[in-house]
């Protein structure tokens, strides 16, 4: 594991070494400062990336952590003579703690609300620090043993210190990326609901991310104050500071550790050099050029340089869409034979009692009750809008029912969160597929494996096993972005399987598939069932289902209209009416 991480970071190590060697030749103290600042802003960018890049929750407020770190460092030395060497780490702790404090209330919000609320924290801090009477603070010069106070006459020392910090942060970022931590964050970014359903406790992971992110930002701020010597509330809590973190990351590419580094290396020297060269003649020119560079880049590569280059390099050239099956008339499955296998008669693993849910006046699910015995395949059918998906949402905890109970192995699990339900053994797939597009099939499935896996190796193994069960092993290293509908459905099935569920809820797994494709998927589901998994499957049409399920539950308008084995249900006039309307019934009689 560690070896792999080090190997994947070799390019970084080489570039970092080269950077340090270059820095050694720089004698002008101003350029030495710029070289240090590039690294510090890269660290700050990585801190932003840790939260916002991986989870997709955009923070405008990273200056809070940065500023607290900076002020803590300076104030500690001014007031108590504590060395920045200590405060560098204390700032990390302060950053982590404030991250938790900010995260706990703010993670209740999403999207724009989250982004804008994060903006309010540094601004409030800015005014508070101004009011506390710190318009400007500078680090006192230490004449006796300055090195103990991180004071060096040679600016290159700071560059080395900053690089060590960057090194540590890069390694941490990569470890996060490669482990369940990063996988969980990326899963949250792509689809928070699906992540919850895959057993990820999203709030816990987000809090860990913001704590780590805050810690890194705090350390960046601490080092910044030492290097820059004078800080003001505006310079560390100001919106431009938050914007800096966001800009370098997005410019380089959010969601990868390379992004902030690329961004900082490009942008910081431009801004600083312009400021130094033209600042006297045209004050503000660096802002204009900086702004123009950002605009130009974002219109050419809206997701940042890194992703642009990567997409460009990895453009699939050899993979054409697999030839579609022939357009013969295939609407009729070859066999409409009803299931011959005996109805499973195990104990009841899932029991739904009087479940109801209404949205405003609309009763989406009304008084639904049914039992599922171990090993059976239950098909829930009904027209669009009959409440099938809502029923699933109630079963796996996305929505709380207005009334009723869900007994899993006899324990009432109603009102539990999705990730708890997942841990209790309820896996689920979604009608609208949300693959994690930039991850391989294997990694997509691995996200689901963390529910039970204790180690990375175990997760790998579970994922490989799940892929094998659905028959995707041969293409497991392909990116999920370009898969066919059938393969995506199978991948989602594998992802749900990786959580080692004993009950699988499948939401329209056959939708959009041709007859032969749907037969393949049906065969996989059948195989799973024989392997001991209990399956509840929602479908819109009956055709493929008749041969698959042991029992049908027919919903219409949120109510169970009938229940029973396929051969009986398909002849029920009420079912026919719900599907095809009265006209069909009268016609059929003639």
**475 counts as binding other proteins under rule CB under 8 A:** no
Name the residue nearer to other proteins (CB basis): 111 or 346: 111
Pairing type for strands 426-428 and 551-556 reads unpaired
**50 counts as binding other proteins under rule CB under 8 A:** no
Sequence-ordered list of residues with C-beta below 8 angstroms from that of 321, at least 6 positions apart, any chain: 484
- Segment contacting other proteins by CB under 8 A, of 24-32, 62-70, 238-246, 419-427: 238-246
Nearest distance from C-beta of residue 362 to other proteins, angstroms: 8
Q: Can you tell me the distance from the alpha carbon of 288 to that of 118, in angstroms, rounded to the nearest whole number?
A: 26
Name the residue nearer to other proteins (CB basis): 269 or 385: 385
Continuous segment of H or E residues that includes residue 32: helix 29-48
Nearest distance from C-beta of residue 123 to other proteins, angstroms: 5
Nearest distance from C-beta of residue 541 to other proteins, angstroms: 5
Nearest distance from C-beta of residue 28 to other proteins, angstroms: 25
Name the residue nearer to other proteins (CB basis): 344 or 383: 383
Q: What is the DSSP string of 174-195?
A: HHHHHSHHHHHHHHHHH-HHHH
Binding residues for other proteins restricted to 68-127, rule: CB under 8 A: 105-106, 108-113, 115-117, 119-121, 123-124, 126-127
* Contact (Cβ atoms closer than 8 angstroms) between residue 560 and residue 368: yes
**Quick check: helix, strand or coil at residue 428?**
strand
* Contact (Cβ atoms closer than 8 angstroms) between residue 502 and residue 408: no
- DSSP symbol at 227: H
Nearest distance from C-beta of residue 24 to other proteins, angstroms: 33
**25 counts as binding other proteins under rule CB under 8 A:** no
Name the residue nearer to other proteins (CB basis): 153 or 586: 586
Name the residue nearer to other proteins (CB basis): 122 or 448: 122
Name the residue nearer to other proteins (CB basis): 96 or 126: 126
Q: Can you tell me the distance from the alpha carbon of 206 to that of 109, in angstroms, rounded to the nearest whole number?
A: 12
CA angle 427, 456, 313 (to 5 degrees): 95
Please identify which residue in 83, 179, 232, 330 interacts with other proteins, judged by CB under 8 A.
Answer: 330
Site string for other proteins, 280-309 (x = CB under 8 A): --xxxxxxx-xxxxxx--xx--xx------
Binding residues for other proteins restricted to 396-415, rule: CB under 8 A: none
Q: Can you tell me the distance from the alpha carbon of 259 to that of 111, in angstroms, rounded to the nearest whole number?
A: 22
**336 counts as binding other proteins under rule CB under 8 A:** yes
Q: Can you tell me the distance from the alpha carbon of 236 to that of 75, in angstroms, rounded to the nearest whole number?
A: 14
Binding residues for other proteins restricted to 368-387, rule: CB under 8 A: 383-385
**311 counts as binding other proteins under rule CB under 8 A:** no
Residue 253 region, left (φ>0) first, then alpha (ψ -120 to 50), else beta?
A: left
Sequence-ordered list of residues with C-beta below 8 angstroms from that of 429, at least 6 positions apart, any chain: 489, 492, 493, 495, 496, 504, 505, 506, 507, 509
**67 counts as binding other proteins under rule CB under 8 A:** no
Binding residues for other proteins restricted to 149-208, rule: CB under 8 A: none
Count residues contacting other proteins (CB under 8 A)? Answer: 92
Name the residue nearer to other proteins (CB basis): 57 or 462: 57
Nearest distance from C-beta of residue 243 to other proteins, angstroms: 6
**33 counts as binding other proteins under rule CB under 8 A:** no
Sign of CA dihedral 15, 17, 23, 24: negative
**Quick check: helix, strand or coil at residue 564?**
strand
Name the residue nearer to other proteins (CB basis): 279 or 471: 279
Please identify which residue in 81, 140, 410, 581 interacts with other proteins, judged by CB under 8 A.
Answer: 581
Please identify which residue in 327, 347, 477, 589 interacts with other proteins, judged by CB under 8 A.
Answer: 327
Please identify which residue in 7, 454, 583, 589 interacts with other proteins, judged by CB under 8 A.
Answer: 583
**Angle separating helix axes 456-470 and 485-498, nearest 10 degrees:** 140
* Contact (Cβ atoms closer than 8 angstroms) between residue 125 and residue 134: no
**513 counts as binding other proteins under rule CB under 8 A:** yes
Q: Can you tell me the distance from the alpha carbon of 491 to that of 511, in angstroms, rounded to the nearest whole number?
A: 15
| CA-closest candidate to residue 496, choices 434, 541, 550 | 434
Sequence-ordered list of residues with C-beta below 8 angstroms from that of 295, at least 6 positions apart, any chain: none
Name the residue nearer to other proteins (CB basis): 64 or 534: 64
Q: Can you tell me the distance from the alpha carbon of 26 to that of 36, in angstroms, rounded to the nearest whole number?
A: 11
Name the residue nearer to other proteins (CB basis): 340 or 454: 340
**492 counts as binding other proteins under rule CB under 8 A:** no
Name the residue nearer to other proteins (CB basis): 123 or 160: 123
């Amino acid at each position: 594991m560690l070896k792999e991480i080090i190997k994947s970071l070799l390019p970084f190590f080489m570039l970092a070494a080269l950077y340090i060697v270059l820095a050694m030749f720089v004698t002008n103290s101003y350029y030495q400062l710029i070289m240090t600042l590039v690294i510090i802003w890269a660290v700050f960018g990585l801190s932003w990336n840790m939260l916002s890049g991986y989870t997709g929750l955009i923070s405008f407020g990273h200056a809070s952590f940065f500023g607290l770190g900076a002020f803590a460092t300076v104030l500690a030395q001014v007031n108590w003579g504590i060395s920045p060497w200590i405060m560098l780490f204390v700032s990390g702790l302060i950053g982590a703690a404030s991250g938790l404090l900010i995260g706990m209330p703010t993670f209740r919000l999403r999207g724009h609300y989250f982004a804008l609320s994060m903006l309010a924290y540094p601004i409030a801090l800015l005014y508070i620090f101004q009011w506390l009477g710190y318009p400007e603070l500078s680090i006192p010069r230490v004449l006796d043993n300055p090195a103990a106070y991180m004071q060096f006459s040679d600016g290159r020392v700071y560059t080395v210190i900053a690089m060590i910090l960057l090194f540590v942060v890069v390694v941490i970022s990569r470890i996060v990326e490669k482990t369940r931590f990063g996988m969980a964050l990326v899963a949250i970014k792509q689809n928070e609901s699906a992540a919850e359903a895959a057993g990820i406790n999203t709030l816990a992971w987000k809090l860990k991310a913001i704590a780590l992110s805050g810690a890194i930002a705090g350390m960046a701020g601490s080092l910044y104050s030492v290097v820059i010597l004078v800080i003001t509330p505006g310079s560390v809590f100001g919106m431009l500071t938050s914007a800096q973190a966001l800009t370098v990351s997005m410019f380089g590419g959010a969601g990868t550790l390379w992004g902030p580094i690329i961004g900082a290396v490009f942008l910081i020297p431009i801004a600083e050099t312009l400021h130094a060269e033209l600042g006297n003649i045209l004050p503000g020119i660096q802002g204009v050029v900086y702004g123009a560079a950002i605009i130009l880049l974002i219109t050419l590569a809206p997701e940042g340089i890194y992703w642009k280059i990567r997409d460009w390099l990895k453009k699939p050239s050899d993979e054409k869409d697999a030839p579609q099956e022939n357009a013969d008339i295939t609407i009729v499955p070859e066999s409409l034979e009803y299931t011959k296998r005996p109805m499973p008669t195990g104990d009841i693993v899932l029991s739904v009692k009087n479940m109801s849910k209404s949205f405003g006046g609309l009763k989406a699910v009304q008084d639904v009750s049914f039992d599922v015995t171990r090993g059976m395949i239950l098909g829930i059918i009904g027209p669009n809008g009959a409440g099938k998906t809502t029923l699933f949402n109630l079963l796996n905890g996305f929505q709380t029912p207005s009334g009723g109970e869900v007994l899993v192995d006899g324990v009432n699990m109603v009102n539990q969160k999705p990730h708890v339900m997942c841990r209790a053994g309820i896996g689920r797939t979604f009608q609208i597929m949300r693959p994690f597009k930039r991850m391989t099939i294997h990694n997509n499935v691995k996200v689901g494996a963390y529910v039970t896996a204790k180690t990375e190796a175990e997760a790998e193994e579970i994922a490989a096993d799940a892929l094998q069960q659905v028959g995707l092993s041969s293409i497991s290293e392909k990116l999920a972005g370009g898969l066919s509908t059938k393969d995506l459905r199978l991948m989602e099935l594998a992802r749900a399987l990786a959580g080692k569920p004993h009950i699988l809820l499948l939401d329209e797994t056959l939708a959009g598939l041709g007859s032969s494709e749907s037969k393949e998927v049906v065969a996989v589901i059948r195989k799973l069932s024989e392997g001991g998994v209990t399956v509840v499957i929602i479908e819109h049409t009956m055709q493929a289902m008749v041969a698959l399920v042991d029992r049908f539950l027919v919903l219409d308008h949120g109510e169970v209209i009938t229940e029973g084995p396929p051969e009986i249900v398909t002849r029920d006039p009420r079912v026919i009416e719900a599907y095809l309307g009265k006209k069909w019934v009268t016609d059929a009689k003639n």
